[in-house]
Amino acid sequence: MEMNRFTLNFNIYVGVMIRLFKVKEKQRELAENANGGAPTKKQSPGELRLHKGLLHIFNGIEFVILMFYVVFLRVDISELNLPKSCAITFPNGKDNLMNFEVSIRPDEGYYFGGTFLFSFQVSPVYPHEAPKVKCKTKVYHPNIDLEGNVCLNILREDWKPVLNINTIIYGLYHLFTEPNYEDPLNHEAAAVLRDNPKMFESNVRRAMSGGYVGQTFFPRCV
């Protein structure tokens, strides 16, 4: 565990150094363009060779780090231990691990029998950043808004590199078995759940069957 933490921290450090180097390179180019393309100080052949060599080294390091994260993600996905009601698919093929979809079919609770599809967009620096997750199924839910944004703490401030894709999927599944009105994105649905659970259940069933809740239409998902 300590070695893994060291490796990940080292990768962050190198990534930052690469970005700083490229920012400085861009600033130098802008300065040259502002002066009509003439550099302020002419570099010697040795300096030019060193500069190009460093650029190749930095690009190589960046590529190696990216491959490290891809391998990390591949292992993470290969070790998924999902409930039977959840499934993962790769619409762009299994070679594209950075983008995939997860379907959740709750087997209990308000959303029993429905099927809900989520898209995952994984950052190149995963697991240091949480994946971007959107619900592609329009759903009447206090913690998912009508645009598909998801309110799940581990996708925001509580994300840590020790968490993984499996943790997120279980968190999403938990949203359907125990929706939370205290941290809502859909405030109207949250208020109904808080004040009138029976009406909330009726609204959920109507939405899942393909119908209107208030002025909003929900496509069938059962």
151 is catalytic: yes
Residue 156 CB contacts under 8 Å (≥ 6 apart), including other chains: 130
* From 86, 135, 151, 221, active-site residue: 151
Residue 213 backbone class (left: φ over 0; alpha: ψ -120 to 50; beta: rest)? beta
Q: Where are the alpha helices (DSSP H) in the chain?
A: 2-34, 45-78, 165-177, 187-195, 197-208
Residue 91 CA to residue 139 CA, distance in Å, equals: 22
Q: Contact 120/104 with Cβ under 8 angstroms?
A: no
Residue 106 backbone class (left: φ over 0; alpha: ψ -120 to 50; beta: rest)? beta
Question: Position of tokens 């990390």?
Answer: 72
Residue 214 CA to residue 21 CA, distance in Å, equals: 54
89 HSE (CA, 13 A, CB side)? 10
Helices 197-208 + 187-195 axis angle, to 10: 130
Which of the residues are catalytic?
Answer: 151
